[in-house]
Each structure stands twice: as structure tokens, then as C-alpha cells.
Amino acid sequence: MVGHISDKKIVVKFGGSSLADHEKLLKAVMAVVDEYKKGTKIAVVVSAMGKTTDVLMSTARSTSNGKLEKKDLDDILSMGERTSVRIFSAALKNNGVSSCYFDPLDCNWPIITDDSFQNANPLLKECEKKIKDYILPLVDKGTVPVIAGFVGKTNAGKITTLGRGGSDTTAFLIAQALNANQVVLVTDADGIMSGDPKIVNSSVRLPEINVNTLIGLADSGAKFIHSKALKYKPKNIDVKVMNHALGDLSKEGTIIKGVLATELDAEIAFPTPVAEITVIGDGLSVNPHVITDMVEAVKQYSLLLGMSMNTNSIILYVSQERNLEPLVDELHKITINNKETIAMAVKKDLVFIKTSGVGLEETHGIIGRISEDLCVNGINISGILTITSSILLFVDWNYKETALKLIKNALKTN
């Protein structure tokens, strides 16, 4: 029985580790039951229990001599989530909660995708319509729908899987269409941590993080939320990441705020010309104080826009808006006064162009396309840096408009 009517509406996703055994599964079910009794309207997205997907993958491949078609493998892998929804929904009903489950073979299945088997992409307009038609009415009347995460279906009725972060993607799509107040991602971690607890013993939970900051961690290999899923995070809906061990959906975790720019694009990232200062040496990286002295000098006289280094050299990209001469003199003084540094060079009048967008790191050959288009048009790349979902380029200031146009065109040909 619902204790009272509430306007609060949430989408809860339980990861595989949260459903790994009957005790964890029951704790997950009771967390939903307790929240339901508060009057909260809830939609639940579930992953496969524990390592079910890995077992299915290994078994399918080992028994088919590696010749299994992707569409057949997707059909097999979906069984983990399709089992989870049945068990979870039945447990909810056994605890007095009105519930039903959604299976991709049903005509009311809400997650419609393209036919990129193993890594399918949701068709957003069709998903939104299906969710509003079939899930929203249930949630509004107090029924808890349980939806298989990670799974999709093509318009032709073929089962697909959404790839890494697929269950999070499902939760985000449903929350957007339901206009939910919050998405709760229940995992085996306390939230987004300052470092991987398996590697960093002193890591702490971050109470809040912007999605644009989080994307850097996701793209750097940290196992938080995959960048493909993050691009579907709804703009005005906060996401909470919390530990299943708490057994209470109202407990604290990490709140993810903001929204990502999903389209690949390029922009002039700094309005005035930039200088490239290169210092070469021998064993520069083994003497950190030299690098620190250089960065401090830049902070005193200019603005540091980018930096790259290897064992024997460091390149600093700085604003030349102010007078560069004092900075150059100071860096030269550092260069000749340390045995690890030998000489320096300065290149002026560069433009700083930033290319960014979710999925940039998964767009094969993008750097090659950009480089080739600039080369064909006689524009030399003075410097290039890559970090998270960004490519930073430095080219001649006199070609800034042409270069920006060429880079934008290269992105569109993806």
C-alpha cells in the first residue's frame, strides 16, 4: 500500500553487482518497496544478475567456434536482463507493490534502436514516444514497471544490445521521457570516487560532480559511467550514484549535474594569438622543479593554455596578449641555469582551436582526417594535444578562419 501520494518521480537502475545473489537482489527489491511506500512514483531498470552476461558471452562463443553472428549473440546476451526483469517484478508483487515487466519481444517494448548489433544506438524520437505511450501511464497510476537495461529492438523486431553503459543509457532515456526528478544508479561503489579505491587507498566519495568533468574520467578508463551513456544524460535531471549496500534509495551518493554537448564541433578556444615555447634538454622529466619553475614563470607573466612534455623536452602554449619578452627572458634564464635544459625556441602568432564532443575518442581516424584536410590546404599543425573528448590544435593565426572551417567539415564527414 502506498502511504501517501507524492509528486516525486524517479528512475532507479540496479547494476549487475547489485543483483549478484539472492540477498543483494532482495535488498534491491526492498529498497524499491520502501520508496514506493513513501508515495514515490518509480520505474526500475535492471541489469543481468552478477556475471550472467559474461557467462552467456563465454558459453556462446566457445560453443560456436567464434562464428556466431552479432545479431544472434545479442539475442543470447539479452537473456540475462530478460531473466532479471521477471524475477525483480515478481518479487515486487510478492511484497505488495503493483508491478509489471517489459521484455523486448513485447509489442510495447520502449527502447528502439538502429541495427548496429553489439553496440546499437537508440532512435531517440521513437524511444520517447514508446516510453510516453507505455511506461508513463503505468508510473502515473502507481505501478512500478521493470525494464531490461542494455537491450534494444530494431524496427524490424531484431533484438540488439546497447554496448558499454547500456543499462545507464536505458535509465537516462526513460527518465527524460518521464520527466523524472532524479535517476538513481545503484552500484557497488559509494558514488563517484576521487580515485579508484582498488588502487588509491585514500580515495573519497565526491558529493557532486559536473558531467563535463566526469567525462574526462570516463574517457581515461575509470570505471564509473561510460561516455556513451553519459551523452544521453537528461539536461535538467540530476543523477545520483550510490552503493547498493545502503539499502535505501534516499541515502547519499554522488550527484551528477549538467549536460554534455553531444555533437562534434570545433571552436577558436582563445580570442588572441598564442605563442609556442619549446625547451629542450636531457633528462628534463627527472627534475620536476625545473618544470615547476617554468610553469610558475608563465603564471607570473602570461596565461598557460596547454602543455606537453617527454623525457627531454617541454612545450608551453601561452597567451601572447601581454608582452612576451619578460616571460621569454625568465624561461631562458631557467634554461641556462639548469643542467637538464639546453636551449629554447619560440614560435609566435598561433591560433588555439579546440575540437570536442562526446564520442570523439571513438571516432576512428578523426585526427588523420583533420591533419590531411589542413595539409592539403597548406596549413601546418604546429602543435596537437588530445585529452578526454577534446583535440587541441595550434596553427598559424593568419589561417584561423580557414582552419576552423576545414576542421568543422572534417568532423561532419564522420
9-257 against 265-412: fold identical: no
Q: Could you give the CA distance from residue 8 to residue 293 in angstroms, rounded to a whole number?
A: 54
**Full pLDDT tens readout for the chain, 414 residues:** 455 556 899 999 999 999 999 999 999 999 999 999 999 999 999 999 999 999 999 899 888 876 889 999 999 999 999 999 999 999 999 999 999 999 999 999 999 999 999 999 999 999 999 999 999 999 999 999 999 999 999 999 999 999 988 999 999 999 999 999 999 999 988 999 888 777 888 889 999 999 888 877 765 555 567 878 888 999 899 999 999 999 999 999 999 998 876 667 889 999 999 999 999 998 887 888 899 999 999 999 999 999 988 888 999 999 998 779 999 999 999 999 998 899 999 999 999 999 877 666 666 677 888 889 999 999 999 988 887 667 899 999 999 999 999 988 888 765
Topology of domain 9-257 in CATH is Carbamate kinase (3.40.1160)
SS3 content of the chain, % helix, strand, coil (to 5): 40, 25, 35
Sign of the dihedral defined by the CA atoms of residues 58, 60, 65, 70, in that order: negative
Q: Could you give the CA distance from residue 358 to residue 263 in angstroms, rounded to a whole number?
A: 7
Looking at the structure, give the CATH architecture of the domain made up of residues 265-412: 2-Layer Sandwich (3.30)
Give, as one character, the DSSP assignment of residue 282: S
Contact between residue 53 and residue 80 where contact means Cβ atoms under 8 Å apart: yes
Residue of 114, 124, 105 lying closest to 162 (CA atoms): 114
Q: Could you give the CA distance from residue 355 to residue 403 in angstroms, rounded to a whole number?
A: 12
Q: What are phi and psi of 94, to 5 degrees?
A: -70, -15
Contact between residue 389 and residue 356 where contact means Cβ atoms under 8 Å apart: yes
Q: What is the pTM of this model?
A: 0.80
DSSP characters over 28-96: HHHHHHHHHHTT-EEEEEE--STTHHHHHHHHHHHTTTT---HHHHHHHHHHHHHHHHHHHHHHHHHTT
Burial 228-242 (b: 16+ CB within 10 A, else e): bbbbbbbeebbbbbb
Q: What integer pLDDT is reported at residue 341 of this predicted model?
A: 92
Q: What integer pLDDT is reported at residue 62 of this predicted model?
A: 87
Q: What integer pLDDT is reported at residue 309 of this predicted model?
A: 87
Q: What integer pLDDT is reported at residue 284 of this predicted model?
A: 83
Query: HSE of 131 in the Cβ direction (CA atoms, 13 Å)?
Result: 27
Contact between residue 327 and residue 321 where contact means Cβ atoms under 8 Å apart: no
Q: What integer pLDDT is reported at residue 4 of this predicted model?
A: 53
Output the furthest CA–CA distance in the chain (Å, rounded).
78
Contact between residue 331 and residue 276 where contact means Cβ atoms under 8 Å apart: no
Q: Could you give the CA distance from residue 95 to residue 92 in angstroms, rounded to a whole number?
A: 5
Strand 151-154 versus strand 159-161 pairing type:
antiparallel
Helices and strands in the chain, H and E counts: 12, 18
Q: What integer pLDDT is reported at residue 220 of this predicted model?
A: 55
Using left for φ > 0, alpha for ψ between -120 and 50, and beta otherwise, residue 191 falls in: left
* In the chain, domain spans: 9-257, 265-412
